[in-house]
Chain A
């Protein structure tokens, strides 16, 4: 480990400033979108009293889930003693913090009253899984910051292992919390399942690693540093395992639901309906986001960087589609206030009688979400510019586990 040299990125090329400009511009647009929504009220969005959580929540949950997953690379090095991953621990921690920050910014700016954030930070209703999440997010920032400190400052290096284990356990609890935001909603047949928590955890593994791979490749390509196949191919194989595991958990969730008569209507709507959710589920998540990446990653061509980049992008598209179906699709079927097998809802002034609630996201909601992603990336770029997060080289001879463990 001592042989690994880290350095800041130089960050004075035209390309670097172009990246900053683009990301900064997107953050600016996101801020404008948030201001527009908050100034006018949510009537300017596609959300309503039926679809109370819209596209911003899909982006926010995507980033929050990705954040805990991005920390995995560091955890594998620290907790499971895989030396190959240790040099990447710093970037992994930074990316985790940045993605969480990006997700939370979206979540907060989509609140009806973001100006009351102080209320959310001071008034805790401890029966609320949401309130737990606020504590879990803050704890995650603090723990990962300490974890990074133990990686980067030799004087506290002896706490490296403990900090790493603490952060790993915390991230598992955090994603359990994120999944339980939906899992605890007993009244909605599209949610109300304990398996949502582990599903979110395994989903976080795959999104986090896909983003980590893309960011690592971008940095090493962009700064002309050497990135050997040893570490890259190991992560590529792991991504395939995570993608397959996510598919398995999602399959179990739906098969279990299909077995229960009370959930059949919702399952029919998601799996065999004519809405966007069915398309996003089968085409977006199953085919494009799971089967194709698996095929690519484990094919002969899977070792090429183009294929790794393509697969990672597809995994992200798939995860986003899945979260859209979970968040929006889960609200789309009208609540079953009376037994739907016995009663047909003929009419209602509040949307109870529709086959499903439509949701048309607006540009403002989209820009707010993209702004959050841009902010996360901006934090990573800024972090790598001012502190030593990136190993100077990840060439095979540098990261070789046998040499490093001696």
Chain B
């Protein structure tokens, strides 16, 4: 009996010591979480659902111009802008927020060059499937990734109907302050949210209108006086994979 209680005591001591160690281990983490959460107060210019940002792309005007892609790569320091360490990733592993897809109509022989980017869906599958909520949609319709919450599971890449997402396969250096890209996380076009919040146009749209064929119109879909709304009212337009019912923010003419 005495022997048994001795054994029990030692086990109790062991467990107590273990708990103390675990506590010591956890304490700095709890402190870090507090620090990390300290700066999450809402911005004075909070984003609201009064706006919905969107874009109309006229595929007939686009041609073989790639000004939008160059501008996007430069804006975010993507692989085209040489911001990775050593540039080790294969071509199929490199990030592309916007790409050109050349199409040929099988029946009519009509050719199209379609810029494809994140379609900023009203009901984005990437947001639905993300386990941590890193894939998110702002109240103003911009779908983006919170790169601090992304665990790199790539489920959003499986879910996106447009293959708009890329996984960062290698170390990134010289990130832009407004785009904290990092190895092991997923990323995609965020409609240049840093520019939009300052009242500017996304880099691709700006480049398209300056150097390109003026095929892109960006603006607030909820404002009937915006250029994009006027164009959408005047011309018929289409969504990619409209059958999925995602109500995309990016619309196309000429497809």
Contact of A116 among B99, B101, B151 (CB under 8 A): B151
A3-11, A62-70, A168-176, A331-339: which lies at the B interface? A331-339
Are A131 and B151 in contact, CB atoms less than 8 angstroms apart?
Answer: no
Nearest CB in chain B to that of A134: its residue: B131
Contact of B92 with A by CB under 8 A? yes
Are B169 and A125 in contact, CB atoms less than 8 angstroms apart?
Answer: no
Interface bracket on A: 35 or more
Interface size on B, residues (CB 8 A): 60
Number of interchain pairs (Cβ within 8 Å): 185
Contact of A112 with B by CB under 8 A? yes
Q: Provide the residues of chain B in CB contact with A351, threshold 8 Å.
A: 92, 163
Known interface pairs A112-B186, A128-B131. Does A187 touch B106 (Cβ–Cβ under 8 Å)?
no
Contact of B105 with A by CB under 8 A? yes
User: Is the contact region of chain A dominated by helix, strand, or loop, or is it mixed?
Assistant: loop
Q: Which of B104-150 contact A (CB under 8 A)?
A: 104-107, 111-112, 114, 116, 125, 127-133, 149-150
B10-18, B43-51, B152-160, B219-227: which lies at the A interface? B152-160
Contact of B179 with A by CB under 8 A? no
Contact of A276 with B by CB under 8 A? no
Are B92 and A41 in contact, CB atoms less than 8 angstroms apart?
Answer: no
Are A112 and B184 in contact, CB atoms less than 8 angstroms apart?
Answer: yes
Contact of B131 among A49, A50, A124 (CB under 8 A): A124
Nearest CB in chain B to that of A343: its residue: B103
Are A130 and B149 in contact, CB atoms less than 8 angstroms apart?
Answer: no
CB distance from A134 to the nearest CB of B (A): 6
Known interface pairs A49-B167, A128-B128. Does A337 touch B162 (Cβ–Cβ under 8 Å)?
yes
Q: Provide the residues of chain A in CB contact with B154, threshold 8 Å.
A: 52-53, 112
CB distance from B170 to the nearest CB of A (A): 4
Are B150 and A335 in contact, CB atoms less than 8 angstroms apart?
Answer: no
Are A125 and B133 in contact, CB atoms less than 8 angstroms apart?
Answer: yes
Q: Provide the residues of chain A in CB contact with B166, threshold 8 Å.
A: 49
Contact of A12 with B by CB under 8 A? no
Q: Which of A167-192 contact B (CB under 8 A)?
A: 181, 184-188
CB distance from B29 to the nearest CB of A (A): 7
Are A41 and B99 in contact, CB atoms less than 8 angstroms apart?
Answer: no
Are A343 and B158 in contact, CB atoms less than 8 angstroms apart?
Answer: no
Nearest CB in chain B to that of A131: its residue: B131
CB distance from B183 to the nearest CB of A (A): 5
Contact of A112 among B69, B93, B130, B185 (CB under 8 A): B185
Contact of A352 with B by CB under 8 A? yes
Q: Provide the residues of chain A in CB contact with B159, threshold 8 Å.
A: 185-187
Known interface pairs A125-B131, A128-B131. Does A48 touch B100 (Cβ–Cβ under 8 Å)?
no
Contact of A153 with B by CB under 8 A? no
Interface 0/1 of B158-198, CB less than 8 Å to A: 11111101111111000000000001111000000000000
Contact of B67 with A by CB under 8 A? no
Known interface pairs A123-B132, A130-B129. Does A40 touch B170 (Cβ–Cβ under 8 Å)?
yes
Known interface pairs A42-B93, A112-B168, A350-B163. Does A185 touch B128 (Cβ–Cβ under 8 Å)?
no
CB distance from A285 to the nearest CB of B (A): 22
Are B93 and A48 in contact, CB atoms less than 8 angstroms apart?
Answer: yes
Are B90 and A125 in contact, CB atoms less than 8 angstroms apart?
Answer: no
Contact of A142 with B by CB under 8 A? no
Q: Provide the residues of chain A in CB contact with B150, threshold 8 Å.
A: 112-113, 116
Contact of A111 with B by CB under 8 A? yes
Q: Provide the residues of chain B in CB contact with A344, threshold 8 Å.
A: 103-106
Nearest CB in chain B to that of A341: its residue: B106
Are A338 and B161 in contact, CB atoms less than 8 angstroms apart?
Answer: no
Nearest CB in chain B to that of A129: its residue: B129
Residue pairs across A and B with Cβ atoms less than 8 A apart, 20 shown, are A40-B170, A48-B90, A111-B153, A112-B152, A112-B168, A112-B184, A113-B152, A119-B132, A119-B149, A127-B129, A181-B155, A184-B129, A185-B129, A335-B162, A337-B101, A338-B114, A338-B240, A345-B102, A349-B100, A353-B102
Known: A43-B90, A49-B165, A49-B166. 20 other contacts (CB 8 A): A42-B184, A48-B169, A49-B93, A49-B95, A50-B163, A111-B184, A113-B185, A119-B132, A120-B153, A127-B129, A128-B129, A130-B130, A133-B131, A181-B155, A187-B244, A334-B163, A341-B106, A343-B106, A347-B102, A348-B101
Q: Which 9 A-B pairs have the closest CB atoms?
A: A112-B152, A112-B184, A187-B161, A130-B131, A48-B92, A43-B169, A125-B133, A52-B154, A52-B157
